[in-house]
Each structure stands twice: as C-alpha cells, then as structure tokens.
Amino acid sequence: MSSALAPGIRLLTSFSRDSWYRSFILLLTFLFYTAYHLSRKPISIVKSELHRNCSTVIRPADLNITNNATWCDWAPFDQDNYQALFGVLDNCFLVAYAIGMFFSGIFGERLPLRYYLSVGMLSSGLFTSLFGLGFYWNIHSLGYYAFIQVMNGLVQTTGWPAVVACVGNWFGKGKRGFIMGVWNSHTSVGNILGSLIAGVFVSSAWGMSFIVPGIIIASTGILCFFFLVEKPEDVNCTPPQHHNDQDSGEAEPLLQNHAVNTSNGAISTEPQEVVEDHTEAISFCGALSIPGVVEFSLCLLFAKLVSYTFLYWLPLYISNVAHFEAKEAGDMSTLFDVGGIMGGIMAGLVSDYTGGRATTCCIMLIAAAPMLFLYNSIGQRNLGTTIGMLLVCGGLVNGPYALITTAVSADLGTHESLRGNSRALSTVTAIIDGTGSIGAALGPLLAGLISPTGWNNVFYMLITADILACLFLSRLVYKEAQGWCGRAPRVRGFKEF
C-alpha cells in the first residue's frame, strides 16, 4: 500500500512549468528594480548629515575651529545656499535620467535584455560607490559629486524599460493591474531598504551609506547575467497571449525534458524550435501615435514630480519641521513608501475590476491634493498623526504613479494598433517614464528653490502638480465613463483611445 503524497509536495507539483517560470521571472525582476531604487535613496538620507545643525553637536576639544556654525558640515554644503546645492545634485541625476530614458528604450529593443540589465546594474554599483568614496578620499568638490550623479542617472535608465519589457513578455492582460501593482512595490521596498541601510551609517561614516547599496546593486547585476530569461519562447514556455489556449504546454512539469507529441503519437525529446520575432522595432513617432501614450505621459510628468519631491526631500522636511535626527527622519520617511505599496496594489485591483485605468488614477490624484494640505498643516502634531498621514499620502501619491508606469505602460505597449509588435513595449515604457522623469527632475529642483521661502509654498506647488495631472487624464476618463454608461464599448486595455 503506497503512502499518500506529502501535502507540501502536492502543493509544489500543482504548479505548472509555465507558472514556475513566470513566478521566478517576477521575483527576479522585483529584486533587480528593488536594487535600482535602493541605490537612489541614500542621497536623501545623507543630506541632513552633510549640512547639520551644529549647535546641537558636541564639538571635539582638539579641533581648533572658530566657526561654530559650520564646523561639522561637509564642504561645499556648509554654505547658506546648501539647499540649492542639494537641488543641483538631485537634478544632475534626474535630468540625466530623463534624457537618457528616451534613448534607453531604443537600446532596450535592440540589445539582449540580460546583457543590458547586467551592465546597467554593475555600472550603477560603481558610480554609487564612487559617491561614497568621496567621504574616505576627503573630496569637497561639487563638480566631483555632480559628475557622479550625472553618470549614475544615465546608467540607471537601463532598468525600468528593460524590466517592464521582460515582465510584459511573460504576462498577459488578464490580471495585469493586480500583478504589476504587487510587483511594483519594488519601488517602495527599495526606498525603504535604502533608507534603513543608509541610516545605519549616516551618523558615523556617511560614505558607507552609498558603498553598501552600490555593492548590492552590482551583485544583482551578476545575478541577472546568470539567471534572467527574457522571453517564454527561450525556454519553450507558452507565450502569455496563448496561455489559456494551450493547456498541454501549461501542464508540462518544470524539470521535465521538452517533449512534444509527433504526428504518429510518439514522444520527441527534441527542443521545440523557437520562432523568432522579425517585427521591426517601432519608431519614436510611431510610439507617440498610440492612443493614450501622450495623455498618460503628461499625467505621469506631474505625478512623478510629486513622488520624487517626497523621495528626495521628505527626510529633510521631517528633520527641519519635527526636529528629528538624520537617522530618525530617514526611518520615519519609510512610512510614505509603505503607504505607496498599499496604494499601488489597491490601484491595480480597482483598475482590473473596473477596467478604468485613467479613472482610478484621476480619483486617487484628486484625493491626494487635500491630504497633502492636511499633512503639511497637522501632520507633525503628534506621532500617531504623522504615521497615519504619511501612510495615506504615500498611498494616494504613489498609487497612480505605480499604475501608470507598470500596467498602463504594458497595456499601451501591447496595444491592438501595434498588431502584435511586441518589441514596442520597451520604447513605449521609455517614453512614458522618460516624460515622467522630466517631472521627477523638476520637483526636487523646485523644492530646493522654494523651500527657503517656507515649506508651505513647497506643498502648494505639489498640490498644483496633482491637479494638473488630473486634467491631462480628463479625456480618457470621459471615454471610460462613456463605456460604463453604454454609449461606447467598455474600455479595457485602452482599445477605444
């Protein structure tokens, strides 16, 4: 009498070969982009250490320094215009990132994604570490740090179009909003881990706040080179568009040889021949002509302006307004990203259920405007209020941003007007995120210029950006409303835009 199969084994074997590969790729790309964001976060944590409130610091007795106001600052950020200098560093990265993003999608379509991502992560690890080495090499040149930021911004553009294209190759449209909402939490997870890692070293040796994340992203680049599978066809898995029609391929065990039935009923163990996609890469203008690309790109410009202003300035804001130390402010700022995780998942679920990607984004952006005003007004009254407001604001601000950069980009990159041209996904993603990155560059720059006049003015700027983001989606929201009212076919996947 044979014994019953163990429950754990039954669970493992219940998943098909395709499901295992899809789960593996989803996890792998999640780790990759977590590392990208992890390496971007330290600069926001270290800012409050480069220019400190020195009057609260016990000065070493053996230092013969007459200027008590600036002796503990790190030159050249010991000047009164330190906020503008921080804005310069932010924009060196973000402007280079925005410019490079428009070209990154073009390269991503024409180069193997595995090599492209691996080189990008290794290069990003190098430049992130070089910024931290400035502490140990005692470098006080703004030009050095600005150059490192420019180079890091350029190499970091390799990440987003490549990982979205890879995930888009493996997943169809069925539950794309939810799947990518969960998957896109890598942005917030990376920000959280980057804040915590940088916070460990910021008060003792801020150089390590950059070197450790640099080593981490370089390590993921090596992982990518050895394990990334770009397309299901590369390992004889079922492409997502045929996922529901070919049960035989779906039921194939993970470790079994690639066996197929021949015409006489025999089993062949020869690998199936993969048919190459000879479709030409889409042009830049061709990608812009896809319905919905321009509107969502402009919406993302302002949505990302708000998100990245919080990314780069929230720890300093908390430190200045609530008078926290650098590490405490960095730790508190992670709550905004925790809220972003929940907001991204919720946006994906709602948009999947309703079929209204634009409407979901618009409602969340409208709700974010008054919440930003309340956070600035009452958000620092007590610890409980601060935690609650950061979670809510994070969800409402990052929810639309997450949805547009993932599910929306993938939907538009596989739009029916492309007639199966799967190579367009990288270019469409790069256009949308590249336009958004212009806002990401403007936000921190404006915050650096406006913050000396008062933090209230910074929040007014963020609220205005939220309202503008809603306006650019108004036509798409109207089309979705028409579909729900029965005046036009129900919109799912932007077929009517």
Domains of the chain: 15-53+77-232+281-484 (1.20.1250.20)
**Highest mean pLDDT out of 116-125, 310-319, 325-334, 340-349:** 116-125
Instruction: Give this prediction's pTM.
Output: 0.70
Q: How far is CA 369 from CA 316, 363, 364, in A?
A: 21, 10, 9
Q: Measured between alpha carbons, how far is 396 from 342 in angstroms, rounded to an integer?
A: 9
Given a cut of 50, whether residue 458 has pLDDT beyond it is yes
Q: Measured between alpha carbons, how far is 148 from 48 in angstroms, rounded to an integer?
A: 20
- pLDDT on residue 44: 84
Report yes or no: 131 and 210 within 8 Å, Cβ to Cβ.
yes
CA 252 remoteness from chain centre: 34
408-432 CB burial, b ≥16 within 10 A, e <16: bbbbbbbbeebeebbbbbbbbbbbb
- pLDDT on residue 179: 75
**112-155 pLDDT, tens per residue?**
889 999 999 999 999 999 999 999 999 999 999 999 999 999 99
For residues 344 and 255, which has the higher predicted lDDT (pLDDT)? 344
Report yes or no: 237 and 126 within 8 Å, Cβ to Cβ.
no
- 261 SS3 class: strand
Can you list the alpha helix ranges (DSSP code H) found in 61-175? 82-110, 113-136, 142-156, 159-170
**50-104 pLDDT, tens per residue?**
877 555 444 444 444 444 455 567 888 888 788 788 888 888 998 898 888 878 8
pLDDT band at 422 (very low <50, low <70, confident <90, very high): low
**Highest mean pLDDT out of 97-111, 178-192, 325-339, 363-377:** 363-377
**Highest mean pLDDT out of 8-12, 149-153, 183-187, 383-387:** 149-153
Report yes or no: 96 and 150 within 8 Å, Cβ to Cβ.
yes
pLDDT band at 34 (very low <50, low <70, confident <90, very high): very high
Report yes or no: 292 and 432 within 8 Å, Cβ to Cβ.
no
Q: Which pair of structure tokens corresponds to residue 450? A: 């406006």
Report yes or no: 195 and 333 within 8 Å, Cβ to Cβ.
yes
Residue 76, preceding peptide bond in cis (omega within 30° of 0): yes
Given a cut of 50, whether residue 247 has pLDDT beyond it is no
Average pLDDT, the chain: 79
- pLDDT on residue 393: 92
Q: How far is CA 268 from CA 47, 93, 235, 250, 263, in A?
A: 62, 53, 16, 17, 10
Cβ atoms within 10 A of the Cβ of 190, count? 26
- pLDDT on residue 147: 96
Given a cut of 50, whether residue 491 has pLDDT beyond it is no
360-392 CB burial, b ≥16 within 10 A, e <16: bbbbbbeebbebbbebbeebbeeeeebeebbbb
pLDDT band at 308 (very low <50, low <70, confident <90, very high): confident
